[in-house]
Every structure is written in structure tokens, then in C-alpha cells.
Chains A and B, each alone.
Chain A
Amino acid sequence: MNIINIEHIAKVYQVGSEEVFALRDVSLRIDKNEYVAIMGPSGSGKSTLMNILGCLDTPTSGKYDFNNVSVSDMNDNQLAAIRNKEIGFVFQTFNLLARSDALHNVELPLIYAGISYSERRERAEQTLVEVGLKDRMHHKPNELSGGQRQRVAVARALVTKPSIILADEPTGNLDSKTGEEIMGLFTEIHDKGNTIILVTHEEYIAEHAARIIRLRDGLIEKDEKVLSRQFPKVKAAGI
């Protein structure tokens, strides 16, 4: 069963009088419980693809079905609902609310989902425990290390039990050891049955995934299985 099914999507930006193709013609299927890495040099269109996959943006043309529902012509509010319930984002720069503690950050998507106070508290706490931040729930982002911040972000992505986790360079702002820990966390999450899409430009990081999609100039250059998968050397949770 595929979660993501895109057919011939293109994205065109108008720069002055010139049309710039960020994506020319991309077709792609991602099944449940896949672990996919999207790779490509800058300007290859991988950010645009990620934004479209994440329902942050809509394609100029083409079809995008998410869980067999067409999202290519949804309006802003419908897209917001999809992002809220079906997609968990993990960003390179963590993107946590600076003035809120870890618990509130993780709770936030549940607030927008309209879940009652007691239930969302419980779910947020539980998810923070899962990512190994039991003792850091009431710390604000600036009181946490980079790795811990990214764990909060992962918890925020997981808390709504989304269909896919979309991670954009999740180790880009971390040292290699911490990065390795985060990748271990992703492997764990994947093992629990989640679908993960990882955007990166580092070969080594991409090889944690089971499948790599390589983009170049707005087209899929290669879509291949990873033969020598990397498995994290560091135990992820509870550090």
C-alpha cells in the first residue's frame, strides 16, 4: 500500500519574466514503512520536492495522492490539517518555539488537532520519554544541547502518530557523534513501523535509509536500493 503517489509533478517559479523549473517531471511512489533518502546537490530541487511532499507547497502541475486522497488542489486550511495529522517534520535548525519548554513544544501539534489538555499532556510526556528526554521536559530549547533539541523536534513529529516523518537534513547542525545518535533514533522509529523520508546531501547519512532517490536539475536521476545499509553504532535512546 503506498502512502505517497506523485505523478509527473512540476514546480515552476516566476523570476522576473523568466520561468525557473525547480522540478520538471517527477513521479514517485513511497510505501508504508519505507525508509527513503532524497539526495541531490543544491539546486537539484530536493527542497522543493520536500516542501511538496510535506504539503507546505503545492505543485504547479501534476498529481499528488496522499493516502489515496488527492492533495494537489487542496486549499490552505485542508493542507494545514494534513500537515497536522499525517506529517511529522524534523528540520535542520530544529525549529522549536524558543520561549516554550520541551513539553509545550511537543504538545503544540496536538493543540492544533483539538485534543484535550489532559490527553495531550499525557501523549506529549510519553513521546518525550520515548526519545529519551524524561528529565528534560520542562527545559526550554536554550537550556538543551543540540542533540536534545533535535530529540524534542523528533518527539514533536511523532506525537500525532503521523503517516510519514519528513526529516530535512536532521543532522546538519549536529556534530557527527550526536548526528549518529539521531540517526539511531530514526532507525528505531523506522523499526517500529513508521515511514521516514530523509532529505540530505551526505552520502553517509543517506545510507541509513533503505532506498535513495537522487535528484538532479529537477528530475529523478536514480532511484536505488541501498546495498550496504549503515546501522548506527551508538544506542539511541536513554543517553
Chain B
Amino acid sequence: MRTLLFEIKESMLIALRAIRANKVRSSLTMLGIIIGITAVVVMSTAIKGIDNSFQSGISALGTDVLYIDKWQWFTNEDWWKIRARRNITMEDFEEFRELAKLPAAVAPVISSRQIVKYGDRRVESVWLNGSNSDYVKTTNFTFSLGRFYSEIESKSSRQVAVIGSEISKSLFPLGDALDKTIKIGGVNYLVVGVLAEQGSFILGPWNPDNQVFIPIGTVFKNFLGQSWNTITVNVRAQNPSLLEETKIEAEGVMRKIRGLTISEENDFSINQQEGLVDNYNSVVGVIQIAGLFITGLSLFVGAIGIMNIMFVSVKERTKEIGIRKAIGAKRRTILGQFLLESSTICLMGGLVGLLLAILASMMINQFIPTSVQYSAVVIAILVSLITGIVAGLAPAYTAAKMDPVEALRYE
């Protein structure tokens, strides 16, 4: 055991000496591993970051909410068939609210894209949500300033607005949005509340941070005719375990409201986050696999580079191997020397790559959230070490089994 440790230590010193003696070649070889490890780590942290922000963003929407809609979120069904469905109207909503007993909260939602302005500042194409005061109960919103609009404001279709954090940042860089009057599509609104950051760039327009909320009556009054628009009914279950029952009840109630007979299909859809999550997972899963595969490929190329260099190195140092063998180096000593050399190169490359990856992640973090995982760090180090050993194995074995007489004769 002690002699083994001694040999490892001495081989390590010999390996470091060899790496130092061939600085240029060693660092060029290392470059392959550096690029490989950087790519893999950046990729995995970016994917993890996107995933994290999706998960947190989706939970802001509420996992226990159903969305009764004319449209189905993810479907293979014929678009024309769905388009032909009847609109869901405010009357449908009112009736649904009367009949459905299980939901904790029910809110009608209609959306429109508008320009939002304050003074010289403007945000184009903002997703404007019209609803009632119960809407906030169907979400997990938190407020940084003010409140959601009240029942009275909602019922009387006041010109009041609640704005998302990004909108607030754009229009009010100083954060003094409350009680200011903003223009939405040319009409004045009083800001009564600002949402705290709900946080998920990945949801895009679905991200409440980029949205504005006003009473639904106000939307109809100022922007959309009620008659030819369909609304969505957001239904929140009392708790996630009651979601399924709430859904069954909602389906029954809607069928009744729409006067469907037993033989008729639903002419509405009950969407839920699960569909979004499934869809997301299948898309991101593919990106994940493809991304890791491609970046893994660059690591593999780096490993082949190491193997190549080690073969050259063994060939070039044939004479040295002969000398070492002549004065008593055993096979395993030579094997160990070259294995340690390649794994040290890889390990150093891996550490540099990791450092670069962390810096790169910090830079990317300005645009999309990334998070460097401890597990990624450990895996990166292990992978580079294993790469070094695997890439060094064949060359080191070649060196170890050299015939000393022939190796000494080599010029």
C-alpha cells in the first residue's frame, strides 16, 4: 500500500514534469477538453436554469387552475372543427358561476394586445387581461405595490389597471407607478397595483410580468365588442387534490349550459397546466438530449485529441521509455506515468473549462437565468478525469509493453 502510494506520487511528479516540459503541446491538448467541458457545463446549467424558471413561472400560474376555453391548448384535432365551436360568452360564465359548487374561485378572462404608455415611455403589444376581482384568487400573484382592483371597480368597469413588474420597470424606472395615470390604447387608467416579479421569461406573453390587468367590462367598453369574442373561464379548485373532481363537475355544468345532448361532443375544452407542462417537457427534453449530445460530442473530440497526442508522445519518448525500463521501471510504473499524464492534462483542462463555464453562466445570466449546479461541477471533474484515463489507456499500454532493447535502439 505504501509503495503504491509512493509510486503514484512519483508518477505524478514525473507526469507534471512532462506536462511542464511540453507546455505548448499540453495546453493545445487541454484546449480540446476545456472547450468540451465548458460546452457541456454551460449547456447543462442553461437547461437547468430554463427549467427552474419554467417551474417557478408555472407555479405562479397555479397548478390547481382549470381554463375553460373554446380553444384547446395542445391538440391534434382539426383546427377548423375547433374554430367552428360556439364562443363562450359572459352569460355562460354567469351561469357557470351559479351552478358550479366545487370551485374556490371563478373568473372570466378576455385578452387583447394594446400599447401602454406613460409620458414618453411606451410598451408595444402588451397582453391586456380583462377579468373580475376574483381573478386574483385564481392566481398566486403577489404585489409589490398597491392591490388588485376591487369588486366595485370591476362591476362598474372603472378605468383602473394592475400592471406586471416588467411593465412597471419599463414605464416607471423609479418604481413610482402607484396612483399614476397610464394610457392603454389611448384611454387613461389609474394604476392601483403593481405585481411583484412572478418570474419566468420562458412563458413569454404568458408571463404575468409582461401583462396588464383591467376589469373585463372596461375591455368590452374600450377595446372589444362583447358579441363576437370568446372568453376563457378560469376555475380554481379548492386544493390540488380536488382538481379532478372540479374538472368533472365543470365539464357537466358546461355541457348543461351549452345544452349538449349525450351524443354530442364537448364544444369547449378544459385546459390545465398539465398539458402545458407535458408539452414543455417533451420539447425541452428533446433540446436537452440534443444539446447534451452535441456538447458531449465536442468533449469526445477533445478526448480523441488527448489520445492522439498521447500516442505521439509515447512514440516520441520511445527512447526515454527505453532508458526508464533499462534502469528498472516496471510495466505498471510506465503505465501509471502516462495515465497520470493524460488524466492530469484532462483534469487541468476540466478545471479551466469549469471556471470558464461558471464565468460564461454568469454572463448568460444577464439574458436568461442559469444556475451552476454542484452536481454539474462534480460531474464535470469526474468526466474530465475519466476522459483522461480512457484516452490515455491505449497509449499508456503501448508504452508499458515496449521492449526495452528496441526502445533503447530507437532514435
Please report A residues at the B interface, Cβ cutoff 8 Å. 51, 54, 56-57, 76-77, 80-81, 83-85, 89, 91, 95-97, 99-100, 108-109, 111-114, 156, 160
**With A81-B330, A84-B328, A112-B328: A56-B404 Cβ-Cβ less than 8 Å:** yes
B113: chain A residues within 8 A (beta carbon): none
Contact partners of B17 in chain A: CB under 8 A: 99-100
- Tell me the chain B residues, 352-411 only, with Cβ under 8 Å from chain A: 404-405, 408
A114 in contact with B327 (CB, 8 Å): no
Which residues of B (330-360) have their CB < 8 Å from a CB of A? 330-333
Are B328 and A81 interface neighbours, CB within 8 A?
yes
When A81-B330, A91-B408, A112-B329 are in contact, do A97 and B323 touch as well, CB less than 8 Å? yes
Known contacts A109-B328, A113-B328; is-contact A97 B320 (Cβ 8 Å)? yes
Q: Could you tell me the distance between the alpha carbons of A81 and B329 in the complex, rounded to whole angstroms?
A: 8
Q: Is the CB of B408 within 8 A of A83?
A: no
CA distance A72 to B326 in the complex (A): 17
Contact of B327 (CB < 8 Å), options: A77, A99, A108: A108
Chain A residue numbers with a CB within 8 Å of B7 are 114
In the assembled complex, the Cα of A77 lies from the Cα of B330 at a distance in Å of 5
Residue B122 at the A interface, CB < 8 A?
no
- Contacts A56-B404, A95-B408, A100-B17; is A89 near B6 (CB within 8 Å)? no
- Give every chain B residue within 8 A of A108 (Cβ-Cβ): 324, 327
How many contacts between A and B, using CB within 8 angstroms? 60
Cβ distance A127 to chain B, nearest Cβ, rounded Å: 14
B330 and A80: CB pair below 8 A? yes
B315 in contact (CB, < 8 A): no
Chain B 1-39, CB-CB to A under 8 Å as 1, else 0, gives: 001001100100000011001000000000000000000
Chain B residues, CB < 8 A from A97: 320, 323
**Which chain B residue has the least Cβ–Cβ distance from A76?**
B331
Q: Is there a chain A Cβ closer than 8 Å to B319's Cβ?
A: yes
- Per-residue A-contact encoding for B121-160, CB less than 8 Å = 1, 0 else: 0000000000000000000000000000000000000000
Can you spell out 18 A-B residue pairs with CB atoms less than 8 angstroms apart?
A51-B405, A56-B325, A56-B408, A57-B405, A76-B331, A77-B332, A80-B325, A80-B329, A81-B330, A91-B408, A95-B319, A99-B17, A99-B18, A108-B324, A108-B327, A112-B327, A112-B333, A114-B6
Q: How far is the CB of A124 from chain B (nearest CB, A)?
A: 13
Q: Are A95 and B328 in contact (CB under 8 A)?
A: no
Task: Let me know if A83 and B6 touch, CB within 8 A.
Answer: no
Q: Are B331 and A156 in contact (CB under 8 A)?
A: no
Contact partners of B323 in chain A: CB under 8 A: 95-97
Bound together, the chains give a CA A84 to CA B17 distance in angstroms of 22
A165 to chain B, nearest CB (A): 13
Per the bound structure, the CA–CA distance linking A54 and B323 in Å amounts to: 13
Q: Once the chains are docked, how many angstroms separate the CA of A231 from the CA of B320?
A: 34
| B282 CB → nearest A CB, Å | 56
Top 5 A-B residue pairs of the complex, sorted by shortest distance between their CB atoms = A84-B328, A112-B328, A109-B327, A99-B21, A80-B330
CA distance A56 to B320 in the complex (A): 15
A100–B319 Cα distance when bound, in Å, is: 14
Give min CB distance, A111 to chain B, whole Å: 5
- Smallest beta-carbon distance B378→chain A, Å: 33
Q: How far is the CA of A83 from the CA of B325 in the complex (A)?
A: 9
Question: Which of B3, B7, B323, B327 has the most A CB atoms < 10 Å from its CB?
Answer: B327
- Residues on B with C-beta less than 8 A from A96 are 323
In chain A, what residue has the closest Cβ to B3? A114
20 extra interchain contacts, Cβ-Cβ under 8 A, other than A54-B326, A77-B330, A80-B325?
Answer: A56-B326, A56-B408, A77-B331, A77-B332, A80-B328, A81-B328, A83-B325, A84-B327, A84-B328, A95-B319, A95-B326, A99-B18, A100-B17, A108-B327, A112-B327, A112-B328, A112-B333, A114-B3, A114-B7, A156-B327
Give the docked Cα–Cα distance between A121 and B241 (Å). Answer: 75
A99 and B21 alpha carbons, distance in the complex (Å): 7
When C-beta atoms are compared, the residue in chain A nearest to B7 turns out to be A114
Q: Which residues of A sit under 8 angstroms from B6, Cβ to Cβ?
A: 114
Taking CB atoms, residues of chain B closer than 8 Å to A51 are 405
Q: Which of A57, A96, A97 has the most CB of B within 10 A?
A: A97
Contact of A89 among B320, B326, B329 (CB under 8 A): B326
Complex Cα gap A95–B319 (Å): 8
Whether A111 lies near B10 (C-beta < 8 A) is yes
Which B228-248 residues have C-beta < 8 A from chain A? none
Query: Which residues of A are found within 8 Å of B333, using beta-carbon distances?
Result: 112
